[in-house]
Structure 1
Amino acid sequence: MTRKSKSIPLKPLAKEFDNGIAVGKYPIADLRLSEEAEYSHRHDYHFFILQEKGTSYFEIDFEKHQIKKPSIIYIAPNQVHSVLKAENIEFCLLAINNENLHPQYLKLLEEISPAKPLTLSSKHISLISQTFLLCIDLFEEREGKLYLSSLKDSCNTLISLFLSQYLERSGHADTLSRFELVTKAFKLALEQNFIKNKRPADYAQKLNISVPYLNECVKNTTGFPVSYHIQRRVTLEAKRLLFHSNKSVKEIAAELGYDDYAYFSRLFNKATGMTALTFRNKNRD
């Protein structure tokens, strides 16, 4: 049964990981017993998973993923997720907070989010697996004056390997067209400002370009105009709050920057094909 609370459940790193890093290799039994895995929640840290064997079923922001082959999974701090089912899996996991991340990597992670699970080739599986094992060995050492520095450096190396895979699939920055670069900048600005900025003009101003040109870039790259992406991002946050909290629709509208509750309700209905209350009741266990 999904547990409801006043807000989306936010799980911090356990107190024993006060350095802001936790890394390990886990058997299937641990995953089945983990309340974190079973119930929808989010973390205040970044989650990197290497699934080496077996089949898992994740739900990340209302999208279900069946992962059968060796894959990597990145879950950002703001994403609501759960593990629906797991069959004979072996996986390595790294949890790390912002303070331990290389600033450049943190920026790149913001750019690739939300990221879907990626299937790996045997070559990349081997490299990432070996790096995970190094991180685990250093994590368990817990001694020496350079313990935390060595652990942090090795974990950032691991994160760079994850990022390399995601960036390779999305194209290198130096090969992106002008339209793609503008769209990338717009999506990053949207993630940071969607609550207070709801108009395409707001984002065009931030990027120092005209609204028609911003729309041209975004529509050419994604197939949808700027307004679609703004509404889609707001609707996702509304879905998170409707499903994972007991806030009223009026409270959610206000939290998302809408003083006009009726307008928000119409927008949600138009974007999803159902009212906010219907969505909540449909998804309530």
Structure 2
Amino acid sequence: MSGKSTSIPIKPLAKEFDKGIAVGKYPVVDLRLSEEAEYSHRHDYHFFILQEKGIFHLEIDFEKHQVKKPSVIYIAPNQVHRVIKGENVELCLLAINNENMHPEYLKLLQEISPTKPLPLDSKQLSLISQTFLLCINLFEERESKLYQSSLKDSCNTLISLFLAQYLERSKQADTLSRFDFVTRAFKLALEQHFVKDKQPAGYAQKLNISVSYLNECVKNTTGFSVSYHIQQRVILEAKRLLFYSSKSVKEIAAELGYEDYAYFSRLFNKATGMTALTFRNKNRD
């Protein structure tokens, strides 16, 4: 792959969007002309996409998606992604930082991430399209005395509509078991601590439960052990760094909390079926 950096590129909002919100409607050709869209990168903000028509091809954390129907797409700040191509696509886009998001919505997004594109029926498409149009119109009314507050409120309404689509396809809060709640809490803790904490005991302590009960909850809910999820989160970050940065395997191992470079190499090989260097070379453009 050409143009590798020493770390995964993080694209901040442009300076003209210093209030932490950007919203607009674009044909996909505009994205194809942007190197930011074509090359793998990640943002320091939340990205909400409404595909109104066309066929959209994108890649999120090594998984390719071909979106053929009107759909909503959510990309979290930590996810590496790129636009592959679009065919007669029209997109509405919202980029928003943590500070402008309703705390409850931010928490729910953390719980449901990572997500995949979700198709919409005509009624859902109409409602979300109209709300996007409202946000776009308010975004352009920069001279309004209530500009920031009205824009923020309307964008959070839009986010709630995105969340509703994802939540409808997952278990409702009133049907979640104790196992589900513990698993959600574990996954949130894992995202925050996977570099420093590689043992189930550390997460059990954070949740004030026993290791055996944590394992029981997570395995009952997901089919996999706590150790498996810890390993998979580490391997995902290793893949990101191998693919999108020029750091050596030894440097990546250290960054992910492994002083024993040989142990990390064996772990990666066992988890992926190939060495770290083979993975890097295989995915190089």
Contact 1:2 1:40 survives alignment (8 Å): no
Contact 1:8 1:41 survives alignment (8 Å): yes
> Structure 1 CA distance, aligned partners of 2:53 and 2:36?
21
> Structure 1 CA distance, aligned partners of 2:241 and 2:256?
10
Contact 2:59 2:83 survives alignment (8 Å): yes
2:164 is aligned to 164
Query: By how many angstroms is 1:3 displaced?
Result: 2.5
1:84 is aligned to 84
**Deviates most, 114-123 or 243-252:** 114-123
> Structure 2 CA distance, aligned partners of 1:199 and 1:282?
31
1:233 is aligned to 233
- Structure 1 unaligned segments of length 5 or more: list them: none
Query: By how many angstroms is 1:2 displaced?
Result: 4.2
> Structure 1 CA distance, aligned partners of 2:155 and 2:247?
38
The DSSP-based 3-state class of the residue aligned with 1:40 is coil
> Structure 2 CA distance, aligned partners of 1:11 and 1:190?
24
The DSSP-based 3-state class of the residue aligned with 2:58 is strand
1:28 is aligned to 28
> Do residues 280 (structure 1) and 280 (structure 2) align?
yes
**Deviates most, 98-107 or 132-141:** 98-107
Q: Match for 1:233: what amino acid?
A: R
**Deviates most, 130-139 or 117-126:** 117-126
> Structure 2 CA distance, aligned partners of 1:242 and 1:41?
13
**Deviates most, 80-89 or 23-32:** 23-32
Q: Match for 2:271: what amino acid?
A: A
> Structure 2 CA distance, aligned partners of 1:3 and 1:72?
31
2:175 is aligned to 175
The DSSP-based 3-state class of the residue aligned with 1:87 is strand
> Do residues 74 (structure 1) and 89 (structure 2) align?
no
Q: Match for 2:58: what amino acid?
A: F
Query: By how many angstroms is 1:178 displaced?
Result: 1.4
Contact 1:3 1:244 survives alignment (8 Å): no
Mapping of 1:58-207 within 5 angstroms?
Answer: 58-207=58-207
For each residue in 1:247-278, what CA deviation from the matched residue of structure 2 results, as whole angstroms up to 9, or x when unmatched? 11111111111111111111111110111111
Aligned length: 285
2:219 is aligned to 219
> Do residues 39 (structure 1) and 39 (structure 2) align?
yes
Query: By how many angstroms is 1:28 displaced?
Result: 2.7
> Structure 2 CA distance, aligned partners of 1:35 and 1:194?
31
Instruction: Tell me the TM-score normalised to structure 2 length.
Output: 0.98
> Structure 2 CA distance, aligned partners of 1:266 and 1:32?
39
The DSSP-based 3-state class of the residue aligned with 2:187 is helix
For each residue in 1:110-155, what CA deviation from the matched residue of structure 2 results, as whole angstroms up to 9, or x when unmatched? 1111111111121111111110000000001111210111001100
**Deviates most, 172-181 or 50-59:** 172-181
> Structure 2 CA distance, aligned partners of 1:2 and 1:31?
19
Contact 2:32 2:83 survives alignment (8 Å): no
Q: Match for 2:161: what amino acid?
A: L
For each residue in 1:191-241, what CA deviation from the matched residue of structure 2 results, as whole angstroms up to 9, or x when unmatched? 111111101111111111111111111111111111110000000000000
**Deviates most, 64-73 or 101-110:** 101-110
Please give the root-mean-square deviation of Cα atoms over the aligned residues, in Å: 1.0
> Structure 1 CA distance, aligned partners of 2:185 and 2:121?
30
2:271 is aligned to 271
2:56 is aligned to 56
- Structure 2 unaligned segments of length 5 or more: list them: none
For each residue in 1:95-124, what CA deviation from the matched residue of structure 2 results, as whole angstroms up to 9, or x when unmatched? 011111111111111111111111112111
Q: Match for 1:218: what amino acid?
A: V
> Do residues 260 (structure 1) and 260 (structure 2) align?
yes
Instruction: Tell me the TM-score normalised to structure 1 length.
Output: 0.98
For each residue in 1:165-189, what CA deviation from the matched residue of structure 2 results, as whole angstroms up to 9, or x when unmatched? 1111111112111111111111111
The DSSP-based 3-state class of the residue aligned with 1:141 is coil
4+ long deviations beyond 4 Å = none
